Every structure is written in C-alpha cells, then in structure tokens.
Structure 1
Amino acid sequence: MLPFFDAVSLPVVSAVRNRRAGGKFLSREAFRRVAGATITCLLSSYFSAPAHAQVMDRDIGSAPSQLVSTPLLPNATTKTSVPPFSHPEVIVPNPLSAWLRARGVNFLVDNTNEFAGAITPPTRGSNPGFVNYRQGASNAGQYAMQLDIDWEKLAGWKGFATHMVTIGRYGTTANRMFGDWLNHASETYGGGGNVVVHLVYLYGEETLFGGRFVVAAGRMAEISDFAASPLFCNFQNGSFCGRPKGITDTNFAAGYPASTWGFRVRGRPARSVYIQTGLYPIEDGIYQVFQHRTGFKFNGANIIGYTAPVETAWEPVFGSGTLPGHYKIGAQVFSTPQNDNFLDLYDQPYALTHRKQKSRSASWSTWGMFDQRLLHYHDKDSGLTALWGVIYNDPHTSLRQYLAYGALLNRGVFRSRPYDTMGFAFTYTKISKGVSLTEQYLMDEGSTMPNHATGVQRDTMVMEANYAIHIMPGVIFTPLFEYYVHPNAQRNLRDAALLGFKSHIQLM
C-alpha cells in the first residue's frame, strides 16, 4: 500500500505530466479516470492506514481526571504503589524518554492548536457595541510540558509521586468577533498569562492500599480534580472543553490553567465507587494577569476565602468489561461573600435604586455528570459513548444559573480506523433571572450593562460536530463545525456558524 501522501500525489502528478497529449488536453473520459484513481487511492490509503493507540482523551498525561476515571482492577491488591503514568505515542520515539521512564521520570511535551473562522456575518446595527463586530477567523493554541516523578522508583518512597505542568499559550478566539463573551470558540485561548512559561500545577500525591486511599496537596487546579472528565476535550469549544463552562461560573473555582494551594483526599469504599473532598483557598484575581501572570506567585496574600467541594461517583463496567460508565454527583460551597445579581442592600432592584448590591455571605454550585459506552466495536477502546449532565449554580449570585449538556463520541466504527472518532456535543446555558431583569432595567434607562452585554442575556446554545483523524503516531487532526444560537445569550445577536480544526502533536 502506498503511503498516504504518495497515494494522493501520484495520480495528480501523472495527470499534470500527461495533461497535453500531442498538444491537446486530456479528454473528459480520461480526466474522469484520473479523478477516479485519485479518489480510490485516497480512500484506500485512508481506510488501510496502520492503527495506533492515540486518542484525544488519552493525550493528557497523568492528569487528575484520567486517574479518577480509572476504577480498581477486579483482582487489585492492597499494596502501596504509584499508579502507572501515561505513555502516549509520539512522532519520533525518544530513547532518552524511555530510559528516564524506567527510572520513574515521565517527561511529556505536546502542542494543541485550534483554528476557527466564522462563515456567517455578525450582527449590524446602530448599537455602539456592534461597531467592532466583524466576520473573521482566529487561531489559538498552547504548548505544554508535563513532568511526573515516581519517587518510589527514584528514592524508595512507597506510593509517592509529584506532578507538574507548565504551558505557554498564544493567539486569540473568534467568538468575540461576533459578540460572544461566554463560550470561547477555541478552548486553549486565555488564562496562560501571555508568558513563555505559565505554571498550571505542582503537587505531591500519596497513593495507599492499592489505590483505595489517595491524598494530594500543593498548587492544584480544583476543577481538574472535581467535575472533570478526560472525555470533554474531544471537542474544541470552550463551553465543553476542558469542562462544561458553568462549573467555573465564578472566578473562585480554579480550573486549568489556573491553580491555588489545595488539599484533596479520595477514598474507594468499593472497587467501582469513590468519594472525594478537599479544601482550596480562594485567591482574588485567579484568572487575571495582575495576580497570576506566570502562575508562580505563591505568597497567599490574595487569599480571600475557601471552597470545599465534595464528589461521589459510581464507575460500573458492563458488557464483560467493554462498556465502562461514570456517574458522578457533587457540590461545592464558596465561603467568600459575593454580590447579589439583582437586589440592593434593602432588597430592591439595584439597577433601579443605584444603591450598592446586596452581599451574600456564601454561595454554592452543584453538578451531575454521566457518561456510558453504549456499544462496543472491534478495538478495546472503540465504541459509541454518550455523555450528559447538568450544572446548577446559586441563582442569587451566578451569571449562569444552570448549564445542561449532551454529547456522543463514536470511536472506531471503521475497523481499519480504530482510533478515529466522530463527535457531536451541545451545551445549553440559562442565565440567572436576576441578571436578565437587571440588564432589562439598565437597558431601558440607557445605562451600561455588565458581562459585555449589548442586549438582555437570557439563554444560549453551542453545538459542535467534528471528526478526529489519527494521521500518524503522535498526530491527531480534527476538522470541526461550531454553531452558536443566541451568542452571549442575547437574542438580538445573529446566530453564528464557524468552521475550523483542532490539531494535537505529541513531541515527547
């Protein structure tokens, strides 16, 4: 079988070389034969390419969401040991990496790039906020380095490992070009501080009794531990990847690439059941450059409160081990006071009285997240998987009162392409009633509205369809389509459609 690019190029080159025969163009029938040969070679090469085990939800190293989503083996022992680190395929195998890994050092380097371009024009009109809207495209991405150290292999410390991730981000996102500030068209945009190296997390983790009890502490991203799934980033849009956006509705829940000091403990009373909780300081300005440009600011002077999440999950495996599922529910409480989104100090609409907003002494968030493989095909990780869930936030303090989502991932439906994945996802976001009423009052009197709104925010939906192609070892390329219904949750903004792609390259 010809390599992919040779299969594409040979018929085309042949056609070019023979385009003129005796000074005449090829006949229509001859051109059809050449075109048919080209398509045949393309399809033959595509469906006969060698299979490799790289898929998007396995390209995140030894991230917390990956480890959480792995129940104990049926014959698991109680021996204290470090769980195995991720070993993704790479473009070019590196003997040094293999040598280090054998000694407990796992070093990964990768790049994720995301492109999105609008194929629909933005809203036009006399509203001053529309002046800068335009139809355009954007590119955003990140390079990441991960260092996992198994101190059991390196120094004999049973069950202890450390994890560190740094990133650099670049580019911008297309959604703001048509007025949306709620959901990024490219998830890798933002949060990286616009620096060469930004620390995401650095923490130690002790695994005891064969994984039945785990304790971790250090600089941690709370939403990488809780309300997380390795399946979310099979998609590109920020309403879904790297977590449904409603869970970080406030600036008080640290999600990748932001982190705070934190402590987390997880226990497994049964093989397929876990319960975990933790305590994470709330740091003022966690997503803002003035505090966390590099991620290396450790003094804690900006701690203004604490959040205490709790989560439990059932992780059954049906179908003789081929149909895994994850069913989790959780909640978190924020101790930091937050402003009411509608009332003033005297329980009147602050948009009308122009008095100071009422302060709520605490707030909360809850979630239910579920996924289940419904069908199994040929390869071990192939099949049709459904994801669905809901996030419900404190309606008095939140912008997003609730977010509901659903998705399908269809992997390996073609026997010769076991790691290609077709995906479809949607998120529906409902804006809190207090926010909508406040914006209506402000708009009626011609005042500036919050949240970059140019109209009353009520609800929005974002959809994405994609096809992830395993090109070669270490490379995944994903063409995709995104569609925004009521961008920025505003019904005065025209729906937006985007075409784009996501690429992932594993270098080490």
Structure 2
Amino acid sequence: MWTGLLPYSVDFRTLMGSIIMFPATANPVCVRAARPPVGRMHHVARTAVYALPFALGCVLFGAVPAGAQVMDRDIGSAPSLLVSRPLPKHDSHKTWVPPFSQPEAVAPNPVSKWLRRRGINFLVDNTNEFAGAITPPTRGTTPGFSNYKQGASNAGQYAMQLDVDWDKLAGWHGFATHMVTVGRYGTTANRMFGDWLNHASEDYGGGGNVVVHLVYAYGEETLLGGRLAIAAGRMAEISDFAASPLFCNFQNGSICGRPKGITDTNFAAGYPASTWGFRVRGRPARSVYVQTGLYPIENGIYQVFQHRTGFKFNGANIIGYTAPIETAWEPVFRHGTLPGHYKFGAQLFSTPQDDNYLDVNGAPYALTGRKRQRHGASWSTWMMFDQRLLHYHNKDSGLTALSGMIYNDPRTSLRKYLVYAALLNRGAFRTRPYDTMGFALTYTRIADGVTLAEQDMINNGNRSSLPNHATGVQHNTIVMEANYAIHVMPGVIFTPLFEYYIHPNAQSNLRNAALLGFKSHIQLM
C-alpha cells in the first residue's frame, strides 16, 4: 500500500484502477485490461505506466462524444463566463436577464427542462482530483523534514447551483439571483513533500469540512440591454475580478480557480469563500467593460472558526474593506472565431498589515525580536490576457494562449509577483471535437522581505520560527502541468495529467517533485 502521511491518503493503484474501469465498462477487453496485475507494486511509476495507456486508449476509442461538455463550464464558472461574454451584435436597450449556464448532463432530465422554461436553473456536479508523487521527498532530521513522505491523495467537491430568472418567474425585468453550495472532501499531496504554496489538487480546502458550505448567494439587476449590471449579496470577489473560466482546465492550485498570487493576503474573497459585497459593471462599448465594487474584509475568511459553513452573516469579524477595479477589452477576430480577453485591474485593502521585514523602528524584526511595522493599507495589481490563435472545425475549438501577471505590495505580501503562461488546444482531432490538450506554467517570486527575514532567522539559529511552514529560505518556485481532457460521454470528462514542482514551497533545499494524477468532472443535472 503506497500511502502518504495525511488521513485521506489513498492507494494510487486502487484509485487509478477504479477510475479507468469507469469509462471502459462498455468494452469487455478494456475491463479486463484495466485490472492491475496481481502482486504488490512498490512504486507508483510502474502502476501509472501500466494503467494510463489503457485508460487513454479505451476512452478515446470506446466512447463517442455527444455534446460540448468542457471544464470551462463547471459549477462556479458562471460569474467569470458572464464577465467574458461581450454584448450581442445587435444593439438593443431592452432589459433582460443574461442566459444561464446549461452544460450537458449525464442523463436527460425532463424536470430540469421544465424548470428552465420557467426561469429556474438547478445544476449538480462532482469534480474529483487525484495526484500522487512519483519522486521521493527530501529527507532530513531537522524540524519538518522527518514528516515528509512519498504519497498520494485525493480531493474533490460536489456542488449545487441555483439560478432564478425573476423576469420569467415573477415579471421582475432584468433581475436574477444566484446561489452555489459545495461539499468538499479529501486532502492534497503537495504538503507531503513540503510545499504549502500551491495545491496539487485545487479542490482541497475552504469548504469547512461540512456537508453543505455556502459559496455565494446574491442578486443581480441587468439594465440597458446588458450595458449596466448591479449585484449585491454574499459574493466571491475573485469570481468576478481577475477571473477566467479557462483557468480550471488545469488542476494545480497555482492557476486553477485563479492564479494564486491574487489571494496572497487572504483578504480577497475567492471561491469557495464569500463576503457581503457590492459590484457594478458597465459596458461603454460592445467589447469593453469597466467594473468596480466594495467588499468587507472578514477575518478568517478561509478558516473554519469563522466560516465553517459559509452561513455566518452577522459581519462581526469585519476588519476592513477592499475596493477592486478592472477594465477589459474583449475583441472577437475573424468573423467571431477568435475571441480574446485583455484585462487590467487593481485592488486596495484598507486593513492594516504587518511589514514582512521591518520592525516598528525600521530594523529587521527577525534580529531585534520587536513587533513588526504596520502599514495602514496595501494593494494588488494584475493583467491577464487570453487569445484564441487558431480555429479548427467546431465553434469552440482552436488553440488558445493565456498569459498574465499578478504584482502585490512588496512590503506586506508573501508572493511579490506571479507570472503564468498556458496553452489550450481544443478539438485538434476532428473525431474528438471536445477533447482538450493543456500546458500551464506559473512562476512565483517570494517578496524580498520574506527572503531576508528567513535568512536572518537561520543565521541566528532560529530555524524553528520560520514563517509559511518553511524549512529553508524561500526565493521562487515554478509549477508546470500537462494534461489531456477526454470527453468520455455527455456530462463526463476524464483528464490524466502530469504536474512538476521546481523548488517546492519556493525553497531550493527541497527536491523537485513530479506527480501523476487525474481530474474528473461529472455533470449530474
């Protein structure tokens, strides 16, 4: 049994065998071939090399695609999909509710169709993410190193989304409400080899370890033919700002959900966390928008002691406010086949934060032991671009490039900046129009003050007090992922993947880590 050091660690061979069996059940040859050989396997690489070719072969040739189910349209992507949708070609000032997300599901559901005709959109899905290291971790006797083990883990979530078009239901023109709840399970493999910056499975954490966790619940009024949208309620700020539905074509947390640098302070509420918020978006031109908002900063937004269920609404833990602003150009080239999005934004945090290097007297706090200097406000900025470069056969097929950068206040941040680049190649094979090949790379630079403070602590023999779960000085890290998303059947996507961490936890004293895994998405209704 090849397990890790955390309670939800699982056997890689058993889990890979079960997931491979699922899409192959229609083919008896695949069922027999997917069974792992008898006997104990001591290395996950042998299992992966054996299993993945059968998984790919059986899924590619044993199932026929029947609809445009892609990871861009899972539950939680609805706000960023709306942001990324330019105005219709035909000019109109009619008040209307933008169409809801309606992904294909495993089985046709006449009840869902009946509800949608009356303005009620109810979705249920499951996303599961598995990752297992195929390289051994750093060994040592110093604090922290003795706990590192080569292991695998599984994490995931089941989610429910409820959208109501009150125009259809009650005649309230342009008004809709949106609510998402999730339940999360499992853990993430990256901590087994010492990384605490980027989850190997993005679906880990933030769900409170409860059956139902409220992600967001808010109302939105759309006016002037979509030129003005006003929203308020319990909102996930980073679902609207610095957002893209393309990010979660990948599994690792350095890019999936949102590039990790944007929530560096834990004061910007991102899925599955939310706060009370207000946002207004205007579109002065068809392909241009400007949006801003105001969101209270709630202490412990990602921690269970305040937000275990997400249903705590009293605001007793509000400690400040964040005010984001973002503008974007969303051109569509070559007769509507090559869409692009070019975003620029910033946000200001009003909550005082500690300096990452200086004490109250302007000297290094790691040497003096005095309280750290406090800054009355801090900030974060971003620019994000994606552009489809080539178009293939179907409407949503083609080669898309993504790139961007998040730059944070270097006085208070852990991550000074994060740079990312990615490629998504969808529908390259005419017989597999919804399959997607992906490659992503993120580079994270730790703030200079954090690096200097950790070096001072180590020089003074105070290694046990290092922040950020560090076991050495933090400088920079790179996370890469390559995957192939297979459209198995309507409502089902299976994505084998490879992840590689260079300098885990931004530490050069930790071995690089390679992981094999998969991401699956099942849209139930």
TM-score higher than 0.5: yes
- 1:323 lines up with 2:342 in the alignment: no
Write the mapping of 1:423-502 to structure 2, written as runs, cut at 5 A.
423-447=438-462, 448-502=465-519
Contact 1:7 1:45 (C-alpha < 8 Å) held by counterparts: no
| CA–CA distance in structure 1, aligned partners of residues 77 and 493 of structure 2 | 19
Give the C-alpha shift of residue 333 in structure 1: 0.3
AA at the equivalent of 2:448 = K
Preserved contact between residue 61 and residue 85 of structure 1 (Cα < 8 Å): no
- 1:266-310 per-residue CA deviation (whole Å, 9 max, x = no partner) reads 000000000000000000111111100000000011111000000
Matched residue of 1:224: which SS? helix
Q: Identify if the C-alpha distance between structure 1 residues 102 and 433 changes in structure 2 by more than 3 Å, giving closer, same or farther.
A: same
Is 1:243 matched with 2:258?
A: yes
In the alignment, what sits opposite 2:149?
134
Shift of 1:138: 0.2
- Corresponding residue number in structure 2 for 1:211: 226
In structure 1, what is the equivalent of residue 12 of structure 2?
A: none
Deviations, residues 393-447 of structure 1 (Å, cap 9, x unaligned): 0000000000000000000000010000000001000000000000000111122
Q: 2:45 maps to which residue? A: none
> Match for 1:476: what amino acid?
I
1:59 partnered with 2:102? no
Larger radius of gyration: 1
- Alignment correspondent of 2:195: 180
Give ranges in structure 2 of 5+ residues lacking alignment. Answer: 1-22, 34-52
- Deviation track 1:211-258 (CA, whole Å, cap 9, x = no partner) reads 100000000000001000000000000000100000000011000000
What residue in structure 2 maps to residue 196 of structure 1?
A: 211
CA distance in 2, matches of 1:13, 1:453: 46
CA RMSD of aligned residues (A): 1.9
CA distance in structure 1 between the aligned counterparts of 2:169 and 2:502, rounded to whole angstroms: 53
The letter for the 1-side match of 2:277 is G
In the alignment, the residues of structure 1 paired with residue 88 and residue 157 of structure 2 have an alpha-carbon distance, to the nearest angstrom, of 34
Q: Tell me, what secondary structure is at the counterpart of 1:483?
A: strand
Aligned: 1:403 with 2:422: no
**1:503 maps onto 2:520 in alignment:** yes
- Residues in 1 aligned to 2:59 and 2:491: alpha-carbon distance in whole angstroms: 22
Question: Which residue among 68, 90, 100 is the counterpart of 2:83?
Answer: 68
CA contact (8 A) 2:60 2:486 kept: no
Percent identity over the alignment is 79
1:457 alignment partner AA: Q
Counting only pairs closer than 5 Å after superposition, residues 11-410 of structure 1 correspond to structure 2 as 46=61, 49-60=64-75, 63-410=78-425
Query: Structure 1 62/56 Cα, relative in aligned 2: closer, same or farther at 3 Å?
Result: closer
Secondary structure of the corresponding residue to residue 144 of structure 2: helix
Q: What is the number of equivalent residue pairs in this alignment?
A: 482
Aligned to 1:422: 437
Q: Is the 8 A contact 2:59 2:488 kept in 1?
A: no
Give the aligned partner of residue 17 of structure 1: none
Aligned 8 A contact 1:48 1:416 in 2: no
CA contact (8 A) 2:24 2:30 kept: no
- Aligned equivalents of 2:96 and 2:244: distance in 1? 24
The answer as to whether partners of 1:291 and 1:297 remain within 8 angstroms in 2 is yes
Q: Tell me the amino acid that sits aligned with residue 471 of structure 1.
A: V
Once the two structures are TM-superposed, the CA of residue 13 in structure 1 deviates from its matched residue by 7.7
Question: Which letter maps to 1:218?
Answer: G
Q: Gaps spanning 5+ residues in structure 1: where?
A: 15-37
Q: Which amino acid aligns with 1:491?
A: S
Question: Which AA in structure 1 matches 2:28?
Answer: S
Measured in 1, the distance between the counterparts of 2:248 and 2:480 equals: 14
Letter of the 1:123 counterpart: T
Relative distance call for 1:12 and 1:480 in structure 2 (3 A) is closer
